[in-house]
Amino acid sequence: MPSIRLTLNGERRDVEVDDPRVTLLDLLRERLHLTGTKKGCDRGQCGACTVLVDGRRINACLTLAVMHEGSEITTIEGLGTPDALHPMQAAFLSRDAFQCGYCTPGQICSAVALVGELKAQALSAATFEAAPAGAVPRTIAISDAEIRERMSGNVCRCGAYVNIVAAVRAVAEGKA
């Protein structure tokens, strides 16, 4: 059985992969029992399976586990603990940014990556234009439109979007 080496939630792991076609999502849920990452549509359309790979958000249902040899993977279980919540987890709780909770792990992982993107001044479709070459880079405004655009890959069937945006904005502005 082939194995892959990765860092999962801060812990270096050698994981046996019995089938090279197994998705990262199925490896996490079925083999490693990290069930916080949810299987929603299994087509990359809902975002319930969002995890962080090397700091970037991805849909775990759309990638093969073997593709992540040497990667650093963070799931919702790796962001915080019940006694020491990640600021985004705390913001989701304090702003009631969930209803049924099924999409919440993916929403939170995506939101953590979003804040990193804003800090890195990464452009999005909501960012009107990049600074011209040689110009002083402008700061991307943390707006509801910017947050909604960057979170658009994560669907909430309950419709908790207003509170999700408020939670993300609070963390992005350092108010969480």
**DSSP-derived 3-state class of residue 5:** strand
pLDDT at 113: 98
Query: What's the Cα-to-Cα distance from 94 to each of 73, 89, 98, rounded to whole Å?
Result: 26, 9, 10
Whether pLDDT at 129 is above 70? no
- Give burial (CB, 10 Å; 0-12/13-18/19+) of 114: buried
Q: Transcribe 52-110 into DSSP letters.
A: EETTEEEEGGGSBGGGGTT-EEE-GGGT-BTTB--HHHHHHHHTT--SS-SSHHHHHHH
The 3-state DSSP class for residue 12 equals strand
The CATH number of the structural domain formed by 3-78 is 3.10.20.30
pTM: 0.92
Half-sphere exposure of 156 (CA within 13 A, CB side): 22
In the DSSP assignment, the letter for residue 32 is: S
Residue-wise pLDDT for 5-57, tens only, equals: 999 999 999 999 989 999 999 999 999 999 999 999 999 999 999 999 999 99
**Starting from the edge strand earliest in sequence, which strands make up the sheet with 72-74, in order?**
11-16, 3-8, 72-74, 50-53, 56-59
Which pairing describes strands 72-74 and 3-8: parallel, antiparallel, or unpaired? parallel
Residues comprising the chain, all counted: 176
Q: What is the mean pLDDT of residues 72-84?
A: 96
Please determine, for residue 128, whether its predicted confidence score (pLDDT) is greater than 80. Answer: no
Return the CATH architecture of domain 87-172. Answer: Orthogonal Bundle (1.10)
Angle at 11 between CA 65 and CA 22, to 5 degrees: 15
CATH 1.10.150.120 domain span(s) along the chain: 87-172
Of residues 4, 109, 114, the one with CA closest to residue 49: 109
Residues carrying CATH 3.10.20.30, the chain: 3-78
